Amino acid sequence: MLLIKTRALTHHSIPSFLPHRVQRVINQRAIDACKAHVNAVAKVFNGAERAAIVAQLNVLERTLALRKKKNVGLIAQAESFALLVGAGRITSCKSAKDRTGMAVTLEQAEYLQQYVGIRDAKWANVATNVMRARGTRRENVEKNTGSPYYAFNKVQVHQLPPHYRPPIGSFGGKVT
C-alpha cells in the first residue's frame, strides 16, 4: 500500500531549520516516488483511472512549482491524490493537536463537499467551524492538554491561512 504523509502548517511558513529549497526537494522526491509507484502498479487501474491519476500528479507538480510561502494547495492536492489511488495518508504537525486539527477538519469538510453533496462553500465553511468548535478534535485537545482551547494566540491565528483558522472562542490555550 502507498502511504503519503502531508505536514500540517507550522506557525511560520516552514521550520527555521528546513530551508524552502530543501522542502521543495523533499516534496519533489515524494511526487517522483508516487509516479514510480503508479507506474509499477499501472495494470490495476483502468485507462480512465490512469488518466485521472496522471492528471492529479501533474496538478501536484504544478502546485509545487508555484513556490508559495505557505503552499497549502500542495496539502489539498496530496489529499486528492491519496483518495484517487486508495493510498493511506497522514497529516500531522509537530504535536498532532492544533494545526493537525485545522488540517483534518478542512479535509473532512472537503470530503462533505465532494462525496456527501454539500455543494455550497458557505455551508462547508459552517461545517468546518462546527467540527473545530464542537467536534472530536476539540475533545482531543482537552484530553491532551487539560484545556478545551487550541493553543493558538491571536497573532498565530492571523498568520495561518484563512481556511486553517480556528473559530473565535476555540483558541487561546496556554499549552502547546
- Mean pLDDT computed over every residue of the chain: 83
Read off φ and ψ for residue 91, nearest 5 degrees. Answer: -120, 125
> 63-67, 92-96, 126-130: lowest mean pLDDT where?
92-96
Residue 173 near residue 151 (C-beta atoms within 8 A): yes
Distance CA 130, CA 125 (A): 9
**Residue 7 burial (10 A CB sphere; 0-12, 13-18, 19+):** buried
Each residue of 101-116: b (16+ CB within 10 Å) or e? bbbbbbbbbbebbeee
Active site residues: 93
Q: How confident is the model at residue 94 (pLDDT cuts 50, 70, 90)?
A: confident
* Residue matched to cell numbers 502531508: 6
pLDDT at 14: 45
- Residues 66-91, mean pLDDT to the nearest whole number: 82
Cβ atoms of 31 and 61 within 8 Å: the answer is yes
pLDDT of residue 174: 65
Across 26-35, 64-73, 87-96, which has the greatest mean pLDDT?
Answer: 26-35
What predicted TM-score, i.e. pTM, was given to this entire model? 0.73
pLDDT number for residue 12: 39
